[in-house]
Amino acid sequence: MRWCWAFFIFLAAFPILAQTYKPREIDLEQFAEDLFAFQDEELDYENLYESLLQLLLSPVHLNKVSAEELQSLYILTPLQISEFINYRNSFGQFLTIYELQAIPEFDLETIYKLLPFVTLEDREHQFTGNLWSRMASDRENYLMIRHRRVWEPRKGYTPPDTLSNGRLTNRYLGDPNDLYVRFRMQHTKDFSVGFTLDKDPGEQFTWDTPTNRYGFNFLSYHFTLYNKGKWKTLALGDYQLQFGQGLVFGSGFSVGKGAEAITTVRRSSLGIRPYTSVLEFGYFRGAAFTRKEGRFEITALASSTPRDGNLQVGLDTLEREEAYISSLMLSGLHRTSNEIAQKAQLRENNIGGNIQYASLNRSFQMGINTLFTEYSQPFQRQERVYNGFEFRGKQNHLHSFYFNYNYQNYFFFGESARSRSGGMGTVLGLMSSLSPKVDLSLLYRNYAKNFHTFYGNGFGEGSRPINETGFYIGLQAKPIRKVTWSGYYDQFRFPWLRFQAYAPSEGYEWLQRITYSPSRQISMFVQTRQESKERNHRAATAVPSGHILSSAKRFNSTTSLDMVLDRNWSIKSRVQFSSYRFEGQKTKGYTILQDLTFKSQKASFSGRVALFDTDDYDNRQYVYEKNVLWAFSIPAYYGQGIRYYLLSQYKISPKLTVWGRLARTSFTDRDKISSGLQEINGSTITESTLQLRYAFNK
């Protein structure tokens, strides 16, 4: 009987889905833009994008996926997740992927978004032969090479000048080429092996042991195995961990506030994940494992990682010279002698773990995290009026307890952590579907001014979970068919001083977005957002107790229209506006852009023309741009000018694909771009990207 039902669903759904969907196809830029509804310089886009790719490359099995794993995709509402679990419990395992259309509350738009991230292939039963032969023959094996360059000469590449004392001025030691190499062998739930090499513009390609330079400036590598008996994960090399709400282990994919006002407030316990990015911080290097024992999973890690830092020498209490680190360098750039001198100046050692319990039906989870960190040199920040409670010393330890509970269409979650300083961090939240048409999310957080976490990434207004309290409420409603409204309001307070706010301060932020999709060929939305934060009054004195704070208000609005013209052509039109008000002065800015995209079986082309005009940097316009595969581009438009780019992709053979991209910005309000060693003497900046991917077993 079940087979008959599944066959009926297949016949009913296939004509609809098959005409418009090809397995594993997804517009990553559009998917990411839906999640990251507004762009901000504080977001770690490279890590977010890399984590999104890992979700795409490791689809979850519909018959084995838990509510926790479904939530981690940020696609389904609490009610949809509840209906999915109820359907599977009532009717048994899915027989065809088209059966998703039979689940209550699953519309076609939701299914289209979900399909690239799910599968019914039982890949664990495909593990035939020994591990090395499986690695060599897997269809996902590839080598990728990328070259990027800005063609206008920057000051850092010009011959140095001679100062009055006879010394030469600072210059970049390397060439302006940006090189990237990535090799990966991966099979879902079986193994992941690879390495990533990176050389930034201005860095030398050299082998110099005393300065810790070995050809490429950065090397990341990993060897990870999955599901080997009771060993759920075995990892060597570079990796990240994500457990609870991210107060201790928060590396990886976490979005925060955006137009997706419901699902993105909650973190998911994804466990150990390979690290494949080129960011030179935020990862562990060493070994880690997760072992299953009944309803428990036990994770342990050991890591020793070189870190860049500004090494200083001072006198201790006995008048003896002592080396210390005044600041960590997170840029990962080693172009000049000064930057090279900061490379790998200290070592960060970590040891920690996690114990997690899950109920039989996996509706309840709880766990504890612990992490001990030690630096090879003491960390002593430069004294500032706002950083008196920041971490100082050589050691930190951090412990937390977290829980997740799923009852029907209610998701309760929380985590509380304590660092060595005694500072506490707490997150409590709820996600729920109040009705089939209304979803709600609530979240409270409280991060003490002396709460220290180095790998935490909890929900909040600031870029780190420290010195903040706040309450967030998000709503999403579908008042009529084809119309969706989403929005949130977030009230926050900073109990201690911050950069540019030398007194306790507060603020708020709200966003709303109305989306209208009359068909799969047309989609449009209008989005508005306002943020208010207190900051130092320009006329205030330099004495902290005398500082007066004023509210700075930033307003953004976006109107967008996407249209699919036919099977090959599509267009996107967008207008963005912003204003910034501080101490009675108001400035503004806008961007108007037009995209055109062509896609065929072997080739695709995409282009954009954007006009922008902003009064100042406070009104800079962040806009997503299409880029070569697995790269991202989110430039900030500011000043006056025009920007355009052309992107092409061509599949030469099943094994070899090539991408090319040319982008150019022409300013009409200046004859110099940037400053310092990045300065360009002219009003245009041109960038090219060329990328090749070779798939070994296609």
637-652 pLDDT, tens per residue?
999 999 999 999 999 9
Query: CB of 150 within 8 A of CB of 176?
Result: yes
- Cα distance between residue 245 and residue 447, in whole Å: 13
Q: 535: which strand partners?
A: 550
- Cα distance between residue 405 and residue 414, in whole Å: 9
| Residue 32 φ/ψ region, left for φ over 0, alpha for ψ in the -120 to 50 degree band, beta for the rest | alpha
Burial of residue 516, with CB atoms counted within 10 A of its CB: 0-12 exposed, 13-18 middle, 19 or more buried: middle
In 92-160, which ranges are continuous DSSP H helix? 108-114, 131-137
Residue with tokens 């005044």: 326
> Is the predicted pLDDT of residue 165 greater than 90, yes or no?
no
**What is the residue type of 584?**
G
Cβ-based neighbours of 542, under 8 Å, separated by 6 or more: none
> Is the predicted pLDDT of residue 324 greater than 60, yes or no?
yes
> Is the predicted pLDDT of residue 24 greater than 60, yes or no?
no
pLDDT of residue 658: 98
Cβ-based neighbours of 273, under 8 Å, separated by 6 or more: 51, 54, 239, 240, 241, 242, 251, 252
Give pLDDT tens digits for 357-368: 999 888 899 999
Whether the predicted model's global pTM rises above the 0.85 cut:
yes
> Is the predicted pLDDT of residue 223 greater than 70, yes or no?
yes
> Is the predicted pLDDT of residue 545 greater than 80, yes or no?
no
> Is the predicted pLDDT of residue 541 greater than 80, yes or no?
no
> Is the predicted pLDDT of residue 125 greater than 60, yes or no?
no
Instruction: Name which of 493, 422, 427, 414 is nearest 451 in CA terms.
Output: 422
pLDDT of residue 394: 94
Residue with tokens 């090499």: 197
Give pLDDT tens digits for 74-102: 888 888 888 998 899 888 889 888 889 89
Give pLDDT tens digits for 285-299: 999 999 999 999 999
584 or 353, greater pLDDT: 353
- Cα distance between residue 24 and residue 57, in whole Å: 9
pLDDT of residue 609: 98
- Cα distance between residue 683 and residue 518, in whole Å: 43
> Is the predicted pLDDT of residue 540 greater than 70, yes or no?
no
- Cα distance between residue 351 and residue 233, in whole Å: 17
SS3 (DSSP) at 133: helix
Lowest mean per-residue pLDDT among 247-251, 419-423, 486-490: 247-251
Question: What phi and psi values does residue 555 have, to the nearest 5 degrees?
Answer: -120, 135
Alpha carbon distance, N-terminus to C-terminus of the chain: 39
Mean of the pLDDT values across residues 189-201? Answer: 93
Q: What percent of the chain has pLDDT over 90?
A: 59
Give pLDDT tens digits for 621-638: 988 899 998 887 888 899
| Averaged pLDDT of the chain | 88
pLDDT of residue 248: 97
Lowest mean per-residue pLDDT among 54-58, 130-134, 443-447, 506-510: 54-58
> Is the predicted pLDDT of residue 685 greater than 90, yes or no?
yes
> E-assigned strands of 466-521?
468-477, 483-494, 505-519
> Is the predicted pLDDT of residue 151 greater than 90, yes or no?
yes
Q: 544: which strand partners?
A: none
pLDDT band, residue 22 (cuts 50/70/90):
very low
SS3 (DSSP) at 21: coil
> Is the predicted pLDDT of residue 252 greater than 80, yes or no?
no
- Cα distance between residue 677 and residue 170, in whole Å: 8
Would the CA dihedral through 538, 541, 547, 548 be positive or negative? negative
SS3 (DSSP) at 360: coil
> Is the predicted pLDDT of residue 47 greater than 80, yes or no?
no
pLDDT band, residue 385 (cuts 50/70/90):
confident
Query: CB of 444 within 8 A of CB of 413?
Result: no
Mean of the pLDDT values across residues 451-456? Answer: 95
pLDDT of residue 123: 60
pLDDT band, residue 13 (cuts 50/70/90):
very low
Would the CA dihedral through 81, 562, 657, 148 be positive or negative? negative
pLDDT band, residue 486 (cuts 50/70/90):
very high
Mean of the pLDDT values across residues 404-417? Answer: 93
pLDDT of residue 320: 65
pLDDT of residue 16: 43
> Is the predicted pLDDT of residue 40 greater than 60, yes or no?
no
| DSSP label of 569 | E
319 or 533, greater pLDDT: 533
Lowest mean per-residue pLDDT among 138-152, 164-178, 276-290: 164-178
pLDDT of residue 21: 42
> Is the predicted pLDDT of residue 396 greater than 80, yes or no?
yes
Query: CB of 295 within 8 A of CB of 360?
Result: yes
402 or 60, greater pLDDT: 402
Residue 436 token pair: 């089939």
| Residue 341 φ/ψ region, left for φ over 0, alpha for ψ in the -120 to 50 degree band, beta for the rest | alpha
- Cα distance between residue 278 and residue 46, in whole Å: 8
**Half-sphere CA count of 18, side-chain side, radius 13 A:** 7
Query: CB of 368 within 8 A of CB of 400?
Result: yes
> E-assigned strands of 24-63?
60-61
pLDDT of residue 272: 95
> Is the predicted pLDDT of residue 163 greater than 90, yes or no?
no
pLDDT of residue 196: 94
**What is the residue type of 586?**
K
